[in-house]
Structure 1
Amino acid sequence: MAVQQHFITVGGLRLHYLERGQGEPLLLLHGYPQNHRCWRHQIEALARRHRVVAPDWFGWGQSERSSNHQADYYTEVERLRQLTQTLGLDHFNLAGHDYGGFLALGFAQRYPRNLKRLAIINSRAHRSFTPAFYRLTAFQCYCARRALLALLFTYGPLYHLHRRTLRNYVPGCFNEAELEDYIGWLRHRSGRRWWTSFFRHYEVAPRRELEEGLANLRLPTAVIWGDADRFCDTTIARDLAARIPNAELTILPGVGHFAVEEAPDAVLRALEQWLARPKTGQPYHDI
């Protein structure tokens, strides 16, 4: 089965994406700081029955990094809408991990009629991060919004800081080459400038409007979570499953934040079960 990699322009920004297979469309959104490669273990199997599209989100991977574009939440959700329109995805399945799950939830609440199903994997979703990571992210946002501190970030050791943090996930989630693919762009000043621009617009606080909209979601929803996540606690997962009427919760015991790569077979099984679901809820279970 051929893997097709493409570039398209959406809203004036160049975006890279992988496409494979035919059938009911499935859009896969990666998290921070990854790109479409985080789905490498699942794409081949999912593409046997679906048209799978896995983009590098704007700013990540091979997609354009422009410090001139806004990255506030609803602008990003609207970019997702523009992307799906450009790709001709009118009624599709949407799965997102981490930042991708954050955007997917906002999209589902704004454009529920465009979705067949929704899956959220280890994401801040409607809430936010664990206390330690919340403070770190809030500090990054604070610095990015102040010119002198932002300049220091542009010239600072962002690549090495990311590598030091993520090195703990080698080889459990990704290898050295994959880690370099995820963060190598931070070696360059243009990449660090874009990183600063991204966090200038990012809001770390919980989003009350997303929480209030959970009860209105009526599409089959999968909430898939590694319960050893140091960034996004399982309380988020259980709250999503409790509040979304047609949600199924799958807990992955002992699995961390990068569940898609750390427990690829378990995530694949959960996604396949989700894609096979009828329009009724399913019970909670562990894998």
Structure 2
Amino acid sequence: MTTDRIDPAAHRTPAWHETTVDGARLCYAAAGSGDPLVLLHGWPQSHLAWREQIGPLSDGRRVLAPDWLGWGASARDTALPCDYDSEVDRLARMLDALELDRVDLACHDYGGFLGLGLAQRYPDRVRRLAILNSRAHGTFVARYALLFGAFTTAARHGLGRRLVAAPPIHAVHHWGLHRYVRNGTFTPERLEQYLDMLRTPEGRRWYAHFWAGYQVRVRPELGARLGEIDCPTTVVWGIRDPAIPMATAVELAREIPNAELVRIDADHFLMEQRPEEVTEALRRWLRRPAR
């Protein structure tokens, strides 16, 4: 009798899958087996934001890293509303489509904004929660709040919407995010992968649609319910984030029972700038007993 040998490295290599959520194509990378761990990216990224974590965390876990609808390779369907409540409920329906009952959820940036809402609205779906550099229940520092607020205001009106969807928007974002090439977080090729959708009319139309549904304001209703989150929680934070105040991380760790705060010497996109430290923080979090 012969026994096939499984290559551990191959087991950790993500496979590409597709499913349908709200009638739209959702693409995701998956690796490993075991209890499910969902990694949710933020703006303006894709599952590639987690590329350094997917393999290591798939040892003993089934890791799923979606391209959230509108981003990466997933569909950009302007028929889908992008307001907060719709997006949080859509996240729950994504879990249904993936046939996942309860998951460990690690989420960054916009993903953390949605993930916080999921943990509050659907507490039985989240076994453990990790939030990484996200506006969460708060908002951005003043200059970024004004910048993003200008995008939302423009995208809700005819002329402004056309400006947000115009070809120069790619160059604007490339200039704004080039600091992450200079500090080594992104390669030029990776930044272009994230921004490539802004080179197409379809991608720009969806981008304007996204901003039209987004709200920059503080969400006091989310802050008021932080104490209701009773799953093991970690707040992993790049302390040099120029857009989101450290006070947000401190408040999350203080107000969520059973939460810890892990500080990392990094900027906003910490999974790519400090991958080993983020991976180790998440491994410690996953070792904590679940409720």
Report the TM range for the smaller structure's normalisation: over 0.9
Give distance in 2, aligned partners of 1:106 and 1:274. 20
1:236 match: 248
1:184 match: 196
Q: 2:64 aligns with which of 36, 53, 57?
A: 53
Report the Cα offset of residue 191 of structure 1: 0.9
Matched, 1:73 2:84: yes
Report the Cα offset of residue 156 of structure 1: 4.2
2:112 match: 101
1:200 match: 212
2:41 match: 30
Matched, 1:125 2:136: yes
Aligned to 2:280, what secondary structure does the other structure show? helix
> Residues 239-254 of structure 1: matches in 2 within 5 Å?
239-253=251-265
1:7 match: 18
Structure 2 unaligned spans of 5+: 1-10
Matched, 1:165 2:171: no
- Which residue identity is paired with 2:217? A
Give distance in 2, aligned partners of 1:16 and 1:265. 26
- Which residue identity is paired with 1:213? R
Q: 1:211 aligns with which of 199, 211, 223?
A: 223
- Which residue identity is paired with 1:225? W
1:8-28 alpha-carbon deviations (Å, 9 max, x no partner): 111111111001000110000
- Which residue identity is paired with 1:229? D
Aligned to 1:40, what secondary structure does the other structure show? helix
Q: Say if 2:14 and 2:55, in contact at 8 Å, map to a contact too.
A: no
Q: Aligned pair in 2 of structure 1 residues 279, 191: CA closer, same or farther (>3 Å)?
A: closer
1:139-162 alpha-carbon deviations (Å, 9 max, x no partner): 100000111111122224110011
Give distance in 2, aligned partners of 1:107 and 1:279. 17
Matched, 1:270 2:281: yes
TM-score (normalizing by structure 2) = 0.94
- Which residue identity is paired with 1:168? R
- Which residue identity is paired with 1:115? V
1:147 match: 158
Give distance in 2, aligned partners of 1:48 and 1:96. 19
Report the Cα offset of residue 278 of structure 1: 2.2
Give distance in 1, aligned partners of 2:220 and 2:170. 33
Count of aligned residue pairs for this structure pair: 279
Report the Cα offset of residue 67 of structure 1: 1.7
1:203-232 alpha-carbon deviations (Å, 9 max, x no partner): 100111110110111100000001100111
Give distance in 2, aligned partners of 1:77 and 1:153. 24
Matched, 1:113 2:115: no
Q: CA RMSD for the aligned pairs?
A: 1.1
- Which residue identity is paired with 1:122? N
Runs of 4+ off more than 6 Å: none
Give distance in 2, aligned partners of 1:156 and 1:170. 22
Give distance in 1, aligned partners of 2:166 and 2:268. 29
Matched, 1:21 2:17: no
1:284 match: none
Report the Cα offset of residue 81 of structure 1: 0.5
Give distance in 1, aligned partners of 2:33 and 2:188. 32
Aligned to 2:29, what secondary structure does the other structure show? strand
Higher mean displacement: 2-11 or 105-114: 2-11
Report the Cα offset of residue 130 of structure 1: 0.9
Q: Say if 2:166 and 2:204, in contact at 8 Å, map to a contact too.
A: yes
Give distance in 2, aligned partners of 1:146 and 1:39. 35
